Chain A
Amino acid sequence: DTGVSQDPRHKITKRGQNVTFRCDPISEHNRLYWYRQTLGQGPEFLTYFQNEAQLEKSRLLSDRFSAERPKGSFSTLEIQRTEQGDSAMYLCASSSHREFGSYEQYFGPGTRLTVT
């Protein structure tokens, strides 16, 4: 499978614990995105990387959330001091740069976080 991969697929944690998710984009995709999806909602944008630079962040990304893409390949999303409201599906997507026209974001299977 050469698509976007995410690890773990499921995570159950207790409130107050820290969690870290990993995303491996499609090879040679220089753009990487994180979204969060709660029940009954569409995905909500969290942040975007072009290569290793984090270029866009949503207001949803509180100071408890941090994302990195140190070598411009895989990315990690860390949530510190988790809260029950953090329970959601965390989606990663990647795309390649296109000089003209629109582009396609390829999504991973997601990491489902449950905070108890």
Chain B
Amino acid sequence: AQRVTQPEKLLSVFKGAPVELKCNYSYSGSPELFWYVQYSRQRLQLLLRHISRESIKGFTADLNKGETSFHLKKPFAQEEDSAMYYCALREGGSEKLVFGKGMKLTVNP
């Protein structure tokens, strides 16, 4: 069975500080990894996916198969980054997403 672990529930930083939101997964095959974000009073939306290898809103995430991790990073956090962040995994042959429990990021002025 696959599992997605986000070890920290809360992270509070000051504006301009670097942030790293950790995500580890357990899956024997080749997964697809995603980061979803939910801003206050908004719906859940895709932030980025590992297959695209792109930077969105200054965030990047690299899939490390050796460490089975997909940590989300941003060098300089902004107040508008405050939100709930969910790491998710999709295994080959399935359509479902398996989500971690989420992490609340607060960026203080």
Q: What is the interface size of chain B, counting residues whose CB is below 8 A from a CB of the partner?
A: 23
The answer, yes or no, to whether B101 is at the interface (CB within 8 Å) is: yes
Q: What is the interface size of chain A, counting residues whose CB is below 8 A from a CB of the partner?
A: 26
Contacting pair A102 B90 (CB below 8 A): yes
Question: Which positions 17-75 of chain A face chain B at CB distance < 8 Å?
Answer: 31, 33, 35, 40-45, 48, 50, 55-56, 58
A-B pairs with beta carbons under 8 A, tally: 53
The answer, yes or no, to whether B88 is at the interface (CB within 8 Å) is: yes
Binds A, one of B59-67, B68-76, B92-100: B92-100
Contacts of A106 in B (CB 8 A): 45
Give the contacting residue for B44; candidates A41, A50, A107; CB below 8 A: A107
- Given A40-B101, A102-B32, A102-B90: A56 and B49 within 8 A (CB)? no
Contacting pair A42 B88 (CB below 8 A): yes
Give the contacting residue for A107; candidates B4, B43, B49, B51; CB below 8 A: B43
